[in-house]
Structures are given as structure tokens and as C-alpha cells.
Amino acid sequence: MSSFVLIDTNIWHFALVKPIEELFVEVHNMATTFLSSILFDPNLRIALSCYQVSEILEVLRRSKLSVGSRLELLEDFEEGKFFVKSLDFPAVISAVRDSIKSNIHIYDYLVAYPLRGIVNRIYSADEHFTHSHFHKIAEVDNPLSPWVITEGKRPTKTSLQEHDQKKQ
């Protein structure tokens, strides 16, 4: 039986786009290695919300990934390795309410909330996913640690001491 995992958009982005700066080659390589390991694991399926499919494709468009590569990825999302869940209005209502409470932008909620009860693990390097709202959905792991990637900001590498403190 397959387990379902969510892989946050920032990991897709860093795995599929070539680094522009030497400083970030390590995080790109880590993301590529991680995503490949999930894609080739026959015991894991990747769950995405419809919103996340569009978010991934838009982030890749802004990063100038070719139209052909983006369309190929869209077709891949239709394959059995992936499960795409529609975005329903109750999930949007819940996302809006919790976004207001946490002051975390709604987009992270629209990625995760439709997948409640489906995924048993969330992989994200975004510090927003450390919030308890996301831990209620599934266990959250940062496979790019000690790197932290938050939308709209440059990736940062935490020290091992900071990383260990965050895990406690």
C-alpha cells in the first residue's frame, strides 16, 4: 500500500530550476536528489492540491523553465504516481480563517489543507510549515535542512546549533 506525501512548491522549484548563483548550488542539488528519491520510491505517491499544481507551474514559468518542460510536468501529474485533489470551498474557508489567525499567507494553506486526511508526511523547507496548523495535518520534515526557503526571500542556511534548537 502506498503512502501519500506532500512536497512543497519550493522543493519542486529548486529541484527543477538550475541555480543562478553559486551560493545556492548545494540547495538545488539537495532538492534534486530528494525529489528524485521520492519519484523513484514505489511505496510513495505524491499528493498535490489543484492549487499547488498551478502554483508549481507558475513558479517554474517565472523561473523561465521551458513551456515544453512545464507541459510535460503537467502531464506527469496525471499519472498514477500523483494524486491531485480538487480545491473545495470548505478548505478555502478553513485556510482563510487559519491564515488570519497565524498571519501566514493563504497560499501555504491552499497547498496543504485540501490534503488533510490524505497525506501522512509534508516535506517543506518553508519555515511557515513549522506552524502547528500544518503539524495537525501530518508530520512535517525539511529534507533540505539546514536550508530554509521561504517564498519571496533568498534561501538561508541555518547553523547546526539553530537547526538543532528548531527540532526540539
CATH number of 99's domain: 3.40.50.1010
In angstroms and rounded to an integer, the radius of gyration of the C-alpha atoms of the chain is 15
Residues 33-47 have pLDDT tens digits of: 999 999 999 999 999
Q: Using CB atoms within 10 A of its CB, is residue 151 exposed (0-12), middle (13-18) or buried (19+)?
A: middle
Provide the pLDDT for residue 129.
80
**Mean pLDDT in runs of 10 for the chain (168 residues)?**
88 94 93 97 97 97 96 96 96 94 91 94 89 88 91 78 45
**Residues facing 156 on adjacent strands:** 148
Instruction: Provide the domain limits for residue 56.
Output: 3-167
Q: How many domains does the chain have?
A: 1
